[in-house]
Structure formats: structure tokens, C-alpha cells
Structure 1
Amino acid sequence: MTVHTQGATVRRSWASDLDTGTLYALLALRTEVFVVEQECPYQELDGRDLEQRTRHYWLAADRGGTVEILATLRLLKEPGGGYRIGRVCTRLDARGRGLGHRLMDAALAEVGDRQCVLDAQQAQEAFYARHGFVVAGESFVEDGIPHVPMARG
């Protein structure tokens, strides 16, 4: 199935303002990508999705009254200052259309020139480098997948 992404709208919401249907759809996409597709059984819900300072970003397309979530990411405002981006993913049938880059641009517009960190899957290091992130530590393996810490700003 080919997903038509023209007209997909970047949306964002504080965690406390998300309606349950949207939150469910965002979490379902993340589970589909990180747990099912990557065959990585882990506890995807880490307790940070509903924190007061958490902002969710997503791209959605309206399909005749049905909203489909195509991609998502989470922006955390860290207690000690700065920001953390995570849970960046795009639906399999919507990849290769720049949706992840659109979400990163939107989140980084909010971050501005303040520090932002993330833990990238090593295979995605170049994706984040396009947004100004550089390796900021030793690589590590999490749930069987090589990761690298990256920072910007």
C-alpha cells in the first residue's frame, strides 16, 4: 500500500493536552516500529510520555475523516535544563519521504539554540547529523541494537 503524504500536517501537543485516541495512535506506531518491526521485545512505555514538560510531535494525514499517524517523535524538557529528543519513527509504508526530517525541523525550532541530546540507533547517525547532532560519547548496545549518544548546541 502506498501512503500519500502530500498534505500531511505537523502537529504537536503537550502531553497533558493529548486526547486519548491520539496518544493511543502515537504509542501504537512506536510499538509497531520499535517492538514488532525491529523484533525487540522491551518496555516501550518508560513513564515519560505523560510528564508535564513532554511535547509530542507527529505527522498525520486525513483520509476521508480518518486521521492516520505517519510519523512521530517526543521532545522532553530535562529537569536539569536542555532538551532530549527520542522515539523518532515513521510508519514503514511512509518512509523515504522526508517525514522524519520535517518532525526534527519542527522540534528543533522549539529547542532553538539550547542544548539538545538524543541516543541514536547507530544506523541512524547520519540522519541526526543532518540536523547538527554530533557524537557525544561511547557507543552502547541497548536491547540488542547499537546506539550512540549525540548532542547539538
Structure 2
Amino acid sequence: MLSIHHAPLRKTDPESLYRIVALRTDVFVFEQGITSEPELDGRDLDPTTELFWTREGDEVLATLRVLHDDGDVAHIGRVATARHARGRGLAAELIEAALGTCPGVVGISAQAYLEHWYARFGFVRTGANYLEAGIDHVPMRRTP
């Protein structure tokens, strides 16, 4: 059975946390080859950070995190879906769930090829493309 969860790190059960980190490592390090910056960057430990994940049985299929530490602007990042679970709308469900917890402006550093995908949630480009971890990104924001 598919379920969506969210909690700060300190309230996330160890098994779920392990599976979240394993999924992010699979996607960002092994698939996308991001080795120029650490996957575990310390931001998950911030008391205002919320982790979101979708589980099916014991498996975490998709995840993201929301950073609530920039004044009135929340930031969504580390959006990842297991390769075999893509195309099921899991990341979209997590984005919607995350947006439901963010009453104000939400920013995202989107991989450029996903700009139109994020636009369907109300995100708009706010600047020029730039490289982050060697991948083309675009800054975007969503205003309620």
C-alpha cells in the first residue's frame, strides 16, 4: 500500500531515514554523478527541515525535503524518485504535499530540463540558468 509521510529528521524512524538517504544517493550520486558536493550536507539536521517520502511496503520510492529557514521563503530540494517507480506521479504527489505545508513563498533550484514540470505547480523562473554540481539549473519561485 502506498503512503506519504513527512517529519523532521528527529522524528523520522531510522529505517525510513536510511531508505531516504539510500534513494538520494542512488539518484544524485550514482545516476547523476554528483560528486562535487556531499549528499549529506547537514541541512537535514536543521530543526526546521522537513523530510517527505512515499513508501510502498518497506521501500521508499520518492523523497524530497523542505527547508524552512530563509525567513518567509521555504525551499524544496532533493527531489528524487527511484528509477523503477518513475512515471507514477509520486514526485508530483510529494510536491503537492510539501506545498500544503508552506503557506508563503517557495523557492526551488530546479534542474533546467524540469522547468516546465515545476511550472505546473505554479513555479516561475526568477533568473538565468546556472550550474550547480555540474548540472544546468534554473531558479524558480512559487507565490501563493
TM-score (norm 1): 0.89
* CA deviation after TM superposition for structure 1 residue 21, in Å: 2.0
The partner residue of 2:131 within 98, 116, 141 is 141
* CA deviation after TM superposition for structure 1 residue 80, in Å: 2.1
Q: Secondary structure at the match of 1:118?
A: strand
Identity %: 44
Listed as ranges, the gaps of 5+ residues in structure 2 are none
- Deviation readout 1:5-64 (Å, 9 max, x if unpaired): xx31111111211122221111110010011011222311111001100111100001xx
Q: Secondary structure at the match of 2:65?
A: strand
The corresponding residue for 2:44 is 49
**Structure 2 matches for 1:91-130, cutoff 5 A?**
91-112=82-103, 114-130=104-120
> For the aligned residues, what is the CA RMSD?
1.0
Query: Using the alignment, how far apart are the partners of 2:13 and 2:59 within structure 1?
Result: 15
The corresponding residue for 1:81 is 72
Higher Cα radius of gyration: 1
**Which amino acid is 2:77 matched to?**
G
TM-score (norm 2): 0.94
Query: Using the alignment, how far apart are the partners of 2:9 and 2:115 within structure 1?
Result: 27
Query: Using the alignment, how far apart are the partners of 2:133 and 2:89 within structure 1?
Result: 27
Q: 1:121 to 1:98 in 2, by over 3 A?
A: same
**Displacement over 3 Å in runs of 4+:** none
Query: Using the alignment, how far apart are the partners of 2:92 and 2:71 within structure 1?
Result: 27
The corresponding residue for 1:59 is 54
The answer to whether the Cα contact below 8 Å between 1:72 and 1:87 also exists between their aligned partners in 2 is yes
The corresponding residue for 1:12 is 6
Query: Using the alignment, how far apart are the partners of 1:101 and 1:59 within structure 2?
Result: 11
Listed as ranges, the gaps of 5+ residues in structure 1 are 1-6
**Structure 2 matches for 1:28-43, cutoff 5 A?**
28-41=22-35, 42-43=37-38
